[in-house]
Copies of this chain bind each other. A is one copy, B any other.
């Protein structure tokens, strides 16, 4: 069985393993105060073009999201995101457990617009007695989104502007950021993110690391005392250098982008095959996630040798599924998947 159902089935890039081995018996300070974390943070500041950025490393994405949001909001304030946002659906109510409502905006493609935010905020403040409802304060977006779509620079600028206008924060969840930055057609850079977001994350778990998310604050107010918040939420790794070392490796010599690009190119390869077979997509995209709509019989056959994840039922005989490539996907496996799809399609009754 070859796994295409997610992008975290393997371990990490070999260069990370190698450095783990090389440094294994070094004695370093704990809790992220070691030289590797410092070096990794410096590289990120440099890549983002802003030496004032506050950078922290956390183990996982849910933890990063809940810690950032908990630190940014007062008790009556809410996060705003797509109904399909990871924080709204797939984090077991972590944001609510930290005391905050998530206000879901309808979205077909996993993205939300500045106009949606603006309307929501206007409605909030224009109602009689806004204090009877939660106050929208932080806009959460994921880029790539949960449906593999990307924000354009213009869309991010508009979201930035609407947040500034209403004294709100813009938080970009970059759990798969690399796959977005390396996607064909992407026009957003790390420097744009540092300029437009109050805080964003750079995901390592899905892009070559064993685990780890970098949290980057450009707004020092909400990042103040963030180490306390990390510790309180159980996110402060004793051997914090494990995080620093991984990000230091990924951010060096463009490795992060190379790994992401590899996955995106293989995904492009698979998309071309699906296109050639004439199957549609639930949502079109250019990153490492592919959401084709396929007949049930096709999926039954495909599932004999390849895994995919279920997205949603489209009609009585078709489902949308998700196929993921990753930094670890081999050309052979991508080729095998494509060949199998062509073979199955030729069985069409």
Contact = CB atoms under 8 A, between A and B. Distances in A.
Contacts of A132: 31, 90-92, 231
Interface string A1-15: 011001011111010
Nearest to A175: B238
Nearest to A30: B8
Nearest to A103: B93
A93 B97 contact: no
A235 B63 contact: yes
A119 interface: no
Nearest to A132: B90
A248 to B, nearest CB: 15
A51 interface: no
Contacts of A20: 11, 17, 20
Among A2, A6, A206, the most chain B Cβ lie within 10 Å of the Cβ of A6
B97 A133 contact: no
Main secondary structure of the interface of A (DSSP, over half): loop
A283 interface: no
Contacts of A239: 8, 11, 205, 210-211
B237 A93 contact: no
A76 B229 contact: yes
Contacts of A31: 129, 132
Nearest to A10: B25
A228 B25 contact: no
Contact of A229 (B59, B75, B225): B75
A93 B71 contact: no
A128 interface: yes
A2 B93 CA distance: 44
A242 B210 CA distance: 8
Interface string A232-275: 11111111001000000000000000000000000000000000
Contacts of A211: 237-239, 242
B94 A233 contact: yes
A93 B76 contact: yes
B238 A8 contact: yes
A199 B11 CA distance: 31
Closest 9 CB pairs of A and B: A63-B234, A76-B228, A11-B24, A131-B227, A92-B232, A93-B101, A9-B27, A93-B134, A3-B27
Interface of A: 2-3, 6, 8-12, 14, 17, 20-21, 23-31, 59-67, 70-71, 74-76, 78, 89-94, 96-102, 128-135, 205-206, 210-211, 225, 227-239, 242, 309-310, 328
